[in-house]
Structure 1
Amino acid sequence: MRSPITGTAAGVPFTALPPADGGAAPLLVTWHMLDAPRSDAAFAAALPMRDLPAWRVHLGMPMCGARMVDGSTDAIVALFREDPLMAYLHPFVRQATEEFPAALASIRAQLPVDGGPIGVLGGSLGGAVALRVLADTDVPVVAGAVVNAAIRMRSVVDLFPGDYPYDAESEKAVAGLDFLARADALRRAPLLVVSGELDHPGLRADALALAEVPGVELRSIPGLAHPLADEPGIEPAPQLPAAREVDAALTAWFRRHLTGTAG
């Protein structure tokens, strides 16, 4: 197995896993969770998709991995204590989406990926980034997938203690990240929704609802809660059994829709 390649793409840290021959191949781009695994390197270890004949380039989310402040997650904790939606969830998704086109151009310049449409994958909050790339950008995407994803940001806000004090600005922000209401914008590429049967009930309900949309397929994973790795989830760790099932489902999906190969 070839070693991971690490670097930065237009300032965004990445961990890239090459196809078996290390040569030119289609490109799958991912965004990790803010739960474990909470870095690009850890996400690559949790979902390596080794049997997928494509470059798997795992991008780091803002303030995570190599972009952690003072080497810890304390700065992120301070943001969600200040305002979970407007200081944390919304700006993280916005920044990751806005920095992606330049990062993609840099990836294409650095790695022998083909020039065709790409696949996108996101876990948890990274799932909202993948869905935004599908819904709100002109990046050519041939297939997408999300895992235990933030499909409807209001459901994520509900996970934080207390009643969130919505105002006009935060209502607009949360509406823009409601991909049940905006499901028509996702239809340009087939989408796989992977959902742990033990995920947070609100996120699980959103996954089941999105799976009712034409062009969306659901894969439920028995025994899987929200995280895909053990804490602390920053460094690469051995793949958990439930993550192995997710990995197999994603590999089969992207073999079919991204690389056109049988699994």
Structure 2
Amino acid sequence: MGTTKQQEQVVGEAAGVPFVALPPEGDAPAPLVVTWHMMSPPCTEVAMAAAVPMRGLRAWRVHFGLPMHGRRLPPGGYEEFFRLASEDNVLNVVEPVTEQVAKEFPAAVADLRSRLSIADGPIGVVGGSAGGAAALEVLARGEVPIAAAALVNPVVQLTPVVAANERRYDVVYHWSERSRAVAERYDYVLRADELEADVLLVIGEQDDVAIREPAAALVKALGERGEQVIIPGMAHELAEAPGIEAAPQTEHARVVDAELTKWFARRLNV
């Protein structure tokens, strides 16, 4: 599919992946930073582009849509998505979304490079919450050279997040041998040696312990490659509900946006 220009945004698909791209100032080739949104607000590429546009960064900021969200909702829309999640969130949502992101990423980046004025060299990746797990999986696989990653309230370990959802929704998740294997595979504290780039973790002070404690453990495991910033008063979300359409930045999103901009300006030398 082609692209259309809308209010300085480039909206289209790259190798089948929906995106909203914010171009840098000027016509010269510039580095690329890719983001994946949350499953909570902001939960589409459009909303993520509004929440953390990183407008002060001289780079292409391309916000990818997650599978099963936004333009790629399953047949039946949100009703079907929540049915699948309630049936088995790990096997019906987390695993297929994360795996599809990792598989489609190299071709999507190659497509972007063929169409946008992106400079040669490693790129940056950003992920929020479940999009953070997707960014970590992409980084761990190493199929595309990545200079630096930034994760906002990411799912670093799946098991604590499942427990948090049990507390929040008063449900019991019935683990199986397969779902436990998925949780082990998506434990990025255990896989820290596979993350061969500098990683910034931006964590809300008021987020659940299921996010905060694994993030701290990952920073420790990464050693000199890891850095953490705690945002006072911030909980999990980066946008007001429902987080589907573009909306004004929240106070906390502005702080996160500034941290991301500063991080990639240093790591991409722009």
Give the TM-score normalised by structure 2: 0.92
Once the two structures are superposed, what CA deviation does each residue of 1:132-187 show, in whole Å capped at 9, x if it has no partner? 1111232100111100000001122223333422222111111110001111111x
Q: Does the C-alpha gap of structure 1 residues 6 and 71 become closer, same or farther in structure 2, counting only changes over 3 Å?
A: farther
CA–CA distance in 2 between the matches of 1:197 and 1:105? 37
Work out which of the residue numbers 141, 144, 148 in structure 1 matches 2:146.
141
Could you tell me which residue of structure 1 aligns to residue 82 of structure 2?
Answer: 77
C-alpha separation in 1, matches of 2:245 and 2:75: 16
Contact 1:80 1:87 in 2 (8 A): yes
| Aligned counterpart in structure 1 of residue 263 of structure 2, from 223, 246, 253 | 253
Following the alignment from structure 1 to structure 2, what is the Cα–Cα distance between the partners of residues 4 and 172?
A: 40
- Contact 2:106-2:143 within 8 A present in 1 as well: no
2:67 to 42, 62, 66: 62
Distance 1:89 1:71 in 2: 18
> Root-mean-square deviation (CA), in Å?
1.5
Which secondary structure state, in structure 2, belongs to the residue aligned with residue 252 of structure 1?
Answer: helix
1:26: which partner in 2?
31
Q: Which of 198, 203, 208 does residue 195 from structure 1 map onto?
A: 203
Q: How does 1:43-54 map to 2 (within 5 A)?
A: 43-54=48-59
User: Which stretches of structure 1, 4 residues or longer, exceed 3 Å deviation after superposition?
Assistant: 69-72
* Aligned twin of 1:3: 8
Contact persistence 2:51–2:248 (CA under 8 A):
yes
- Counterpart pick for 1:12 among 14, 17, 20: 17
Matched-pair contact (CA < 8 Å) for 2:37–2:66: yes
**1:180-201, CA deviations, whole angstroms, 9 ceiling, x for partnerless residues?**
1111111x11000000001111
Identity of aligned residues (%): 46
Report 1:198-237 matches (<5 A).
198-212=206-220, 213-214=222-223, 215-237=225-247
Corresponding residue for residue 191 of structure 2:
182
Q: What is the deviation of 1:72?
A: 4.1
- The number of residue pairs the alignment matches comes to 259
2:24–2:57: 8 Å Cα contact kept in structure 1? yes
Which 5+ residue runs of structure 1 have no aligned equivalent? none
For residues 147 and 167 of structure 1, do their structure 2 counterparts lie closer, same or farther at Cα, with a shift above 3 Å needed? same
Contact 1:84 1:160 in 2 (8 A): no
What's the offset of the Cα at 1:246? 0.3
Query: Does the Cα contact within 8 Å between 1:154 and 1:174 map onto a contact in 2?
Result: yes
Equivalences for residues 36-185 of structure 1 within 5 A? 36-69=41-74, 72-161=77-166, 162-185=171-194
Measured in 2, the distance between the counterparts of 1:40 and 1:158 equals: 27
Structure 2 stretches lacking a partner, 5+ long: 1-6
For 2:247, give the aligned amino acid: A
TM-score (norm 1): 0.94
Residue identity in the other structure for 2:236: H
Tell me, yes or no, if the aligned pair for 2:31 and 2:123 is still in contact at 8 Å: yes
